[in-house]
Amino acid sequence: MHVISYCSRDFLRMLPEIRKHARTTTFVNCMSWAFDAEVAAVQQGLIDFELYQTVHSMEKIAERLQGASELERLLIHPYFHAADFPFQPREPGLFRFGRISRSAPDKFGKKQLWIYETMTAPEHKQGLILGWGAEVEKKLGRPPFWIGTMPSSSLSQQAFYQFANAVIMSTAGTENLPRVGFEAMASGSVLVVDDRGGWQLQVENGKTGWLCKDEREFVYKASRLAHEKNEAADMRHAARQKLEASWGLNPAMESWSRVFEAWEARRDSERIMPRIVNVSAGVRNVLG
């Protein structure tokens, strides 16, 4: 049978044994970088297909997978199940904002707390960081009293988005396609995020949220969001509509059907001629 794994180190470790029984093997890398074990498996011909959610991630990972003679790279269009994240009502009053991620220092931009302290609001600010820990505090310092901190998974995502009118989130690296973005769009929490990586695919700058090139732009756009209530309301409704139109079930099903076709085209009894499928060919292979 065809065997597919989503970003699992155990799958990569066990591939030599899995490969003995699989018709094809497929690895879905959700990162913007390649695992060392992934590179080794590709070089040994243990992975037939790699699937990616974004072109920028595929291009970045491809830099380390050069010389993979039988690897086919395909792009899938993800689906987000928005029903799990109801659109939250917003009450007037405090400007409530937050950020949510794993408790890992490389998930936090070094100016994150400075942004929160410098941005302005017509009323009191109140923040919540879900995903705080000792290593993060070592990097950023202790937040002011009006920003609460909680370890990862100590609060449900739905409860977090119910609190946060806005997700103001600076990261140290380039995100692939953040699940946080989809959750916020579904819930009505306006995104103020980095102008790079997967955020650029999720946010239409000035329409469904704000993209920021540096910490000063974060301060300006977060402050504008706090002051311009009508604009903020328009953004959160536009973001929910974009989510439903762009990341629904039909586009995902169409891209996956082409993945299934690619699997079936590779026969047990024959191997394709050695070749390198470049990024543009991979995109055409799935998206047409």
- C-alpha to C-alpha distance for 79 and 20, rounded to whole angstroms: 32
Same domain membership, residue 224 and residue 133: yes
DSSP at 26: E
Which residue range is the domain that position 270 belongs to?
Answer: 2-79+248-287
Same domain membership, residue 257 and residue 237: no
Same domain membership, residue 162 and residue 194: yes
Same domain membership, residue 13 and residue 111: no
Same domain membership, residue 136 and residue 268: no
Same domain membership, residue 215 and residue 201: yes
For residue range 122-170, what is the model confidence (pLDDT) as tens digits?
999 999 999 999 999 999 999 999 999 999 999 999 999 999 999 999 9
- pLDDT at residue 17, rounded to an integer: 96
Same domain membership, residue 151 and residue 105: yes
For residue range 6-52, what is the model confidence (pLDDT) as tens digits?
999 999 999 999 999 999 999 998 888 899 999 999 989 999 999 99
- C-alpha to C-alpha distance for 237 and 217, rounded to whole angstroms: 23
Same domain membership, residue 153 and residue 42: no
Predicted structure pTM score: 0.85
For residue range 139-151, what is the model confidence (pLDDT) as tens digits?
999 999 999 999 9
67: alpha, beta or left? (left if phi > 0; alpha if psi -120 to 50): left
Same domain membership, residue 193 and residue 89: yes
Handedness of CA 13, 274, 255, 208 (dihedral sign): positive
Same domain membership, residue 96 and residue 8: no
246 Cβ contact partners less than 8 Å away, ≥ 6 residues apart: none
